[in-house]
Amino acid sequence: MRKLKMGMIGGGKNAFIGAIHRIAANMDGLVELHCGAFSSNPEISKESGKGLFLPEAKCYDSYEKMIAIESQLPQDQKMDFVTIVTPNFTHFAPAMMALNHGFHVLIDKPMTLSLDEAKQLQQKVKETGLILCLTHTYSGYPMVKQARKMVADNDFGKIRKVIVEYTQGWLSSLLESKENKQALWRTDPAKSGISGCMGDIGTHAAHLAEYISGLKIAQLCADINIVVEGRKLDDDGNVLLKFDNGANGILVATQIATGEENGLKIKIYGEKGGLEWHQMEPNSLIIKWSDAPTQIYRTGNGYLSNISMANSRTPSGHPEGYLEAFANLYKNFALTLSFKLEGKEPTQEMLDFPSVDDGVRGMAFIENVIASGKSDQKWFDFKI
């Protein structure tokens, strides 16, 4: 066992998500930052790397140069995997190049700019046997994993209804007109793709619904809106869902809910009971029964499942939040990769992170939702 060496693409000066990735990667001591192409601007990339105490030779002018040079180094001197923390439109090319040069990949969501690109990455992963992890962060929370386990154990009986919502208010005004960096690229079709809100946070809601319920979206009916005048991509939407077991659901994603922060919430109901989880109060899981009082499960307690406890780090009563959930993705990915490098078979607990297949479903969700939103047809089959 040794620390894995990470190469980072993007995440330089003033890029908030790069710092979050580095904290998450470092939290369990399994990964170290080895090199980076931190910006498309070579000067900023070099300056960013210097600020992270990397040797000058490991601060590359471009991701192309980094991948090409690192691939030629001896095994003990080159990076083990690449993490890609750039806007959507610069995901596919570096991910494909990394896979073609034998490097494993960790990448932000949505995975690509289009479903076709996502399928190409999926095929390349299958051909190479390499690992791709997608950062659907919310699946990393201990109580989300507890909820998933209870559903899988049939504690609630057959699932009948899923209600998931992700409400934000930060785009309630035309923030992109004020040169806000995050708003500029997320509302630009050339950089974000065919969807804004649904691509940015709707995919999180859809993934969480499928992850906890164990079901797959089979059909949907979408109402997609551009509320703020002058905006080019959707900033609000409501989607009716039908799952592959016959359950129905509702998905709400909006970035114009004035005053909201990151209000991701999910409720799932079965024949015998249900559950409720709120991202802004992540250490609690509310359990509801038809014939018993409501219960509140709390992170870090011994009555929780092994999978929940394996993704907790502190005793009960010590809050674990977004950074720890993010770190759980890195931890499970790193353990899986370490076992793979040693010729060992990773455990199911290690393999519990979003994969390239989740990335394909995410892009399919975006394309199906937008197609439905533009059509007068009531129900669309979920096509991949």
Closest CA to 120 of 360, 371, 361: 360
Q: What is the CATH number assigned to the segment(s) 4-138+328-355?
A: 3.40.50.720
Structure tokens, 6: 């990470």
CB proximity list for 247: less than 8 A, separation 6 or greater: 158, 159, 160, 161, 162, 213, 215
196 contacts 255 by C-beta, under 8 angstroms: yes
Enumerate the CATH 3.30.360.10 domain ranges in the chain, comma separated: 139-315+361-381
CA–CA separation, 91 vs 356, rounded Å? 13
Residue 1 DSSP symbol: -
| Architecture of the domain defined by 139-315+361-381 | 2-Layer Sandwich (3.30)
CA–CA separation, 5 vs 26, rounded Å? 11
Task: Establish whether the linkage from the previous residue to 110 is cis, with ω within 30° of 0.
Answer: yes
Enumerate the CATH 3.40.50.720 domain ranges in the chain, comma separated: 4-138+328-355
Beta bridge partners of 82: 7, 105
From first to last of the 384 residues of the chain, give the pLDDT tens digit.
799 999 999 999 888 899 999 999 999 999 999 999 999 999 999 999 999 999 999 999 999 999 999 999 999 999 999 999 999 999 999 999 999 999 999 999 999 999 999 999 999 999 999 999 999 999 999 999 999 999 999 999 999 999 999 999 999 999 999 989 999 999 999 999 999 999 999 999 999 999 999 999 999 999 999 999 999 999 999 999 999 999 999 999 999 999 999 999 999 999 999 999 999 999 999 999 999 999 999 999 999 999 999 999 999 999 999 999 999 999 999 999 999 999 999 999 999 999 999 999 999 999 999 999 999 999 999 999
95 contacts 121 by C-beta, under 8 angstroms: yes
Which strands, in side-by-side order, build the sheet including 248-254? 295-298, 284-289, 273-278, 263-270, 159-167, 248-254, 236-243, 217-225, 380-381
